[in-house]
Amino acid sequence: MSGEEINFDGLVGPTHNYAGLSEGNLASARNRDTIARPREAALQGLAKMQQLRGLGLAQGVLPPHDRPNIAWLRSLGFAGTDAQVWERAWASEPTIARAALASSAMWAANAATISPSADCEDGALHASVANLQTMLHRSLEAQQTERALKRLLQDTSRFTVHEALLPHDALSDEGAANHMRMSAAPGAPGVEIFVYGREAQEPRAGFPARQTLEACRALARRHGLASARTIFARQAGEAIDAGAFHNDVVAVAHAHVLFHHEHAFADKAALYADIRAGARGLFDPVFVEVPAARVRLEDAVSSYLFNAQLVRLPGASSLTLIAPSEVRENNSTSAFVREMIAAPGTSIGDVIYVDVRESMRNGGGPACLRLRVEMTADERAAANAGFFLDDALAQNLEAWITTHYREELAPGDLSDPALVDETQTALDALTRILPLGGDFYPFQRV
Ligand code: SUG
């Protein structure tokens, strides 16, 4: 059966800011308390989606979450009007308030793990919402993500959207950012590779490892994956400590190609062998390894060379890397990419640079911003068409962003009670642009 990989990008929310919330994410720490530009951030994200659509790729959109998260603050005992709740939270619990404001749902690669129907025992497409339990601000995303995915994938005879795993340290799950898939072509059965940073209960000294083996195994079981084509690989501790808080900071796969840094995985030889075994009879895997002698882990992390989208453009014989412009500005990564795409017989034959700088400053590159959903033509027809980007939707979203988003959010602006009404008005309007319904956001249900 033929299929298509569709990228669903998270729209950057109106409260995009730099709060330094993610330990182990070097960009988030570095840019803490700097001035954010929400309007520009959202327009950059939309421009990236439009650029990819212009190249002939299918593109979808996922909505931002309601922030500040007033419902959560109320559950913590804050009372009064929504604006008062926000003021009071800032006054007494600034750490909690910062978490309640994060626009981190924009990084849709962390929304869920998707297994296309070709891999799943019951022939349905399975999606497991990520619990994102490691970081407080991200642990607030699962419920709303589940609502969004259920709006997109409504047809329960074709799609199964699983709720997040119990949010506990033992089942720590960050979604597709730690999941790769290789196959002959979209629609064909593939090899699913789950990358974990630690096992439950395993002590770890350095930066947090946000994905456990136990969570990976649970996802594979839920999705009904064939064990012969399911791989669990450990991320190198060295990579995590160098700032690769998700595997997609040091590796990306598409079709038969795995593009990765030399130090991405704890046991590369075992991973290659497992992929070859899983792929037998289906496709010949190609491994494009970037040696540390060419690109240091530090440069891979600061440029986000691997946080790129690896895509096949219509009619192209090789793959194209959609990389952040920071890769072009780093001498070692730009030189490596230039040589790679020019090499005879290369599997990755082109590069296109995109500007998502506002997101990058929080550690989110082009690949973080999108959730890949591989669908057959029938599945695509059954999915909610209103989430697929076309010119009319792009125009509406652009106008919506321009109307509702602030140009700047400086640290001193974050406590502004006016933000509550402003963002709720914006999101309420969004429910009439995307097919979300008038009860999508918690503030619409009170
Ligand atoms: O979880 N940053 C996100 C970036 C997620 C990137 N996603 C992927 N690699 N797929 C995170 O660390 C920073 C928010 C702040 O500091 O304000 C943040 O949440």
For residue 446, the model assigns a pLDDT of 85
Residues of the chain with pLDDT under 70: none
C-beta of residue 394 within 8 angstroms of C-beta of residue 433 = no
Mutation probe of ligand 1 site: the residue of 28, 101, 145, 252 with most atoms within 8 A of C-beta? 28
How high is the pLDDT of residue 1? 72
CA-based nearest residue to 389, from 9, 5, 92: 9
Question: Do β-strands 370-376 and 230-234 pair in parallel, antiparallel, or remain unpaired?
Answer: unpaired
By most ligand atoms within 8 Å of CB, the mutation choice from 23, 35, 107, 252 for ligand 1 is 107
> Using a 6 Å cutoff on CB, does residue 324 contact ligand 1?
no
Please report, for residues 105, 146, 316, the alpha-carbon distance to residue 14 in angstroms, rounded to integers and kept in the order given.
12, 21, 37
Question: Ligand 1 in contact with 176 (CB < 6 A)?
Answer: no
Are residues 406 and 144 in contact, defined by beta-carbon separation less than 8 angstroms?
A: no
Atom 7 in ligand 1: residue holding the nearest Cα: 368
Q: Is residue 359 in contact with ligand 1, taking CB distance under 6 Å?
A: no
26, 33, 104, best to mutate for ligand 1 pocket (most atoms within 8 Å of CB): 104
Q: Cis before residue 68, ω within 30 degrees of 0?
A: yes
State the closest ligand 1 atom to the C-alpha of 29, by its place in the atom list counted from 1.
Answer: 16
d(CA 442, CA 436): 12
Q: pTM value?
A: 0.98
> Pairing between strand 348-354 and 319-324?
parallel
How buried is residue 351: exposed, middle or buried, by Cβ count under 10 Å (0-12/13-18/19+)?
middle
Distance 278 CA to ligand 1 centre (A): 32
Domain positions in the chain are 3-67+102-414
Minimum-distance ligand 1 atom for the alpha carbon of 176: 10
C-beta 106 within 6 A of ligand 1: no
* Residue 10 in contact with ligand 1 by CB distance below 6 A: no
CB of residue 190 inside a 6 A radius of ligand 1: no
Residue 362 CB–ligand 1 contact under 6 Å:
yes
Q: Under CATH, to which class is 3-67+102-414 assigned?
A: alpha beta
The whole-number pLDDT of residue 368 equals 98
- Within 13 Å, how many C-alpha atoms sit on residue 175's CB side? 31
**Phi and psi angles of residue 122, each rounded to the nearest 5 degrees, phi first:** -90, 5
Residues with a catalytic annotation lie at 174, 246, 368
